Amino acid sequence: MEILGLGYVGLDVPDTEAWLAFGRDILGLDPGRAPDRDAYLPASETEGRGANGAVYFRVDDWSWRLALHPAAAPGLRYMGFEVAGPLELDAALAELEAAGFPARRGDAAECAARAVSGIGFTQDPGGHAIELFYGPLVTNGYRNSRGMEFLTGALGLGHINLFAADYARSADFYTRTLGFRLTDSYHVGPDQTVNFFHTNPRHHTVGIMQIAPFDGVHHLMLEVTELDMVGQAYDRVIAAGCRITASLSRHSNDRIVSFYVESPSGVEVEIGWGAITVGPDWTPKYRGPGDIWGHHGLTAESIEQTGGRA
């Protein structure tokens, strides 16, 4: 099947108000239109709060891209991957079933809950909820209120990195069944690798970490269009006293200049600029150190802590 990109992400968070302030004031996201609100009610009037208690953010012309759902335990609630249309969604769900992964088409209420035209549901081998969808609600004339501009479009929302207890099964699912292609891998330690997969020109849409004996989410990456936007976000993080889990750096594989900050729910957010893109002629690479410079502070202990919460 062909996945066009990462469309949206939903996280479980114990404190939606803390995440609302973090997303708005630190990351520079804007309130999105909550799918369960009146379509004519400006998102700014509700600060992106849904009637269901969730908080919704937007970064581009899509009505929302990131949802924070109230929950006792933090973690990944769902990942939404975009497909081209209704025929492609039917075919994808049939492929999943044929590969042994239970999948079902969502009804009208489930489409409305995500503001999409069609949706289907399955799970990856790590138990992460995966939603395949087409036809997101978009609105014209979006401009970010804090001077940020996020690089989305054909590249999708960004990338998400997952811990996988059974790397081989997860990698097989994302490549053989969902159609992702291996971009490259880092060597992290004995029998430990971080592996990057693409499904459009973005260097990776999904990263799978063969590093710890559990499944969970490590970080969500959002890319901006100018280096200064990374620096300005870094300034906001420092001014607010947020925990920087990896200092400013350039990764050796995607060449992104980025930093990582711990969100109020523990999931890290990477804000970056300048990543390379890959084309159909790309072949997988294997690398040693993951950074050309920087990213100080990403210790085994911090990875373990984040994974434990996820």
Chain residues that interact with Fe ion, rule: CB under 5 A = 221, 270
User: Closest separation between CB of residue 193 and Fe ion, Å?
Assistant: 15
User: Closest separation between CB of residue 268 and Fe ion, Å?
Assistant: 9
User: Closest separation between CB of residue 262 and Fe ion, Å?
Assistant: 14
Distance of CA 234 to the CA centre of its chain: 19
User: Closest separation between CB of residue 291 and Fe ion, Å?
Assistant: 11
User: Closest separation between CB of residue 195 and Fe ion, Å?
Assistant: 12
Rg (alpha carbons) of the chain, rounded to whole number: 18
Which residues share a beta bridge with 293?
Answer: 250
Name the residue nearer to Fe ion (CB basis): 104 or 243. 243
* Strand, coil or helix: 83: coil
User: Closest separation between CB of residue 110 and Fe ion, Å?
Assistant: 30
User: Closest separation between CB of residue 161 and Fe ion, Å?
Assistant: 5
Which residues share a beta bridge with 206?
Answer: 160, 197
Q: Which residues contact 121 (CB under 8 A, 6 or more apart)?
A: 103, 104, 106, 110, 129, 130, 131, 132
Name the residue nearer to Fe ion (CB basis): 8 or 133. 8
Which residues share a beta bridge with 196?
Answer: 184, 207
- The secondary structure of 256-293 as a DSSP string is -EEEEEE-TTS-EEEEEE---B--TT---EEES-SEEE
Question: Cα–Cα distance between 229 and 235 in angstroms, integer?
Answer: 10
Taking CB positions, which residue lies at the least distance from Fe ion?
221
Q: Which residues contact 239 (CB under 8 A, 6 or more apart)?
A: none
153 burial via Cβ count (<10 Å: 0-12, 13-18, 19+): exposed
Name the residue nearer to Fe ion (CB basis): 221 or 271. 221
Question: Cα–Cα distance between 116 and 89 in angstroms, integer?
Answer: 12
Name the residue nearer to Fe ion (CB basis): 30 or 270. 270
Name the residue nearer to Fe ion (CB basis): 221 or 310. 221
**Structure-block tokens of residue 265:** 């729910």
Name the residue nearer to Fe ion (CB basis): 63 or 170. 170
Name the residue nearer to Fe ion (CB basis): 262 or 270. 270
